[in-house]
């Protein structure tokens, strides 16, 4: 590899067009169209299987809200300003720039409200007043229904009072209490197709100065269940195991896949 950066971190999407599913995907298209038309939601429910990019999509929305160069593009974050880089590099510590991320299993609605108010005060003290804040509540479906309902007032009051978009990331068939789901724009993400994974893998391999065959990319993608961060981890292992500095060998691909299967 050209450097020592983990491929999963190095190639985590920094813009909507970098998502493996692509801008043509109906859900991604709906999100970017709303951004381009400046349509603002109070809350968004992102449903999808493990590894499909829910948290990444939420962070991209956070980058866009934090971006100081929004005039450069209709819906993409610029990726280079302080706001974008803060969310990209320190997504759980970007409150000054208007993005917050919580794992709801370890925090109460009262705690989240206190954090949001503290962060808004902190942002204002630095003359950094956001046009919209983004708060991601990850693994929201793991809360019991009665605990989910406690977030209704948080979403309504803070969303309206402080122009905050709440993004709830949940499993595809998770049960969400009606009081929450009725207040959310519903978006369903999907895992990329094997064809999309193969194309992505070969682009990454080429960027790393390696040749990866279609067949080997297929094996990596299939073994990883089409989960981008999983197959990028396999590709990294295959590169490390390869005896050839220019080609990802078939033997190294098989070794990487066998190791995952034996550990899984």
Q: Where is pLDDT greater, at 234 or 112?
A: 234
Cβ neighbour number for residue 226 with a 10 Å cutoff: 22
Q: Work out the mean pLDDT of the chain and round it to a whole number.
A: 88
pLDDT at 3 over 70: no
At residue 118 the predicted structure's pLDDT band, cuts being 50, 70 and 90, is: confident
The answer to whether 179 and 152 are in contact (CB under 8 A) is: yes
Q: Over the stretch 23-46, which tens digit does the pLDDT of each residue have?
A: 999 999 999 999 999 988 889 999
Query: In whole angstroms, what is the distance from residue 241 CA to residue 139 CA?
Result: 35
Q: Which domains does the chain have, with CATH numbers?
A: 7-188 (3.40.50.300), 194-263 (1.10.8)
Predicted TM-score (pTM) of the model is 0.89
Percent of the chain beyond pLDDT 70?
A: 91
The answer to whether 193 and 52 are in contact (CB under 8 A) is: no
Query: In whole angstroms, what is the distance from residue 204 CA to residue 8 CA?
Result: 11
Q: Over the stretch 143-159, which tens digit does the pLDDT of each residue have?
A: 888 888 888 888 887 77
Q: Which residues pair with 185 in a beta bridge?
A: 44
- Give a three-class secondary structure readout of the chain: CCCCCCHHHHCCCCCHHHCCCCCCCHHHHHHHHHHHCCCCCCEEEEECCCCCCHHHHHHHHHHHHHCCCHHHCCCCCCCCCHHHHHHHHCHHHEHHHCEEEEEHHHCCHHHHHHHHHHHHHHHHHCCCCCCCEEEEEECHHHCCHHHHHCHHHHHHHHHHHCCEEEEEEECCCCCCCHHHHCCCEEEECCCCCHHHHHHHHHHHHHHCCCECCHHHHHHHHHHCCCCHHHHHHHHHHHHHHCCCCCECCHHHHHHHHHHHHHHC
| Mean pLDDT of the 242-253 span | 94
| Mean pLDDT of the 71-77 span | 91
- Of 234, 233, 208, 226, the residue nearest 20 (C-alpha): 226
Question: What's the CA dihedral at 10, 16, 18, 21 to 10 degrees?
Answer: 120
| Mean pLDDT of the 129-152 span | 83
């Amino acid at each position: 590899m050209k450097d020592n950066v983990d491929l999963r971190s190095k190639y985590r999407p920094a813009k909507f067009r970098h998502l493996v599913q692509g801008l043509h995907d109906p859900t991604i298209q709906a999100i970017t169209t709303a951004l381009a038309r400046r349509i603002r939601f109070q809350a968004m429910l992102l449903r999808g299987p493990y590894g499909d990019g829910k948290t990444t999509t939420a962070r991209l929305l956070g980058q866009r809200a934090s971006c100081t160069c929004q005039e450069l593009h209709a819906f993409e974050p610029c990726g280079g300003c302080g706001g974008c880089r803060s969310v990209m590099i320190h997504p759980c510590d970007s409150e000054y720039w208007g993005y917050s991320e919580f794992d709801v299993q370890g925090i109460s609605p009262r705690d989240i409200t206190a954090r949001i108010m503290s962060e808004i005060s902190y942002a204002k003290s630095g003359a950094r007043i956001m046009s919209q804040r983004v708060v991601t509540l990850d693994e929201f479906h793991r809360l019991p229904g009665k605990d989910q309902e406690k977030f209704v007032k948080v979403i309504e009051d803070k969303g309206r009072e402080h122009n905050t978009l709440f993004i709830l990331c949940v499993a595809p068939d998770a049960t969400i209490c009606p009081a929450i789901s009725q207040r959310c724009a519903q978006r369903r993400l999907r895992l990329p197709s094997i064809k999309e994974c193969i194309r992505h893998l070969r682009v990454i391999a080429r960027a790393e100065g390696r040749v990866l065959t279609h067949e080997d990319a297929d094996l990596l993608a299939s073994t990883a269940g089409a989960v981008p961060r999983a197959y990028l981890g396999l590709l990294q292992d295959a590169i490390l195991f390869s005896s050839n500095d220019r080609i990802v060998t078939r033997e190294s691909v098989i070794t990487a896949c066998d190791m995952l299967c034996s550990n899984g």
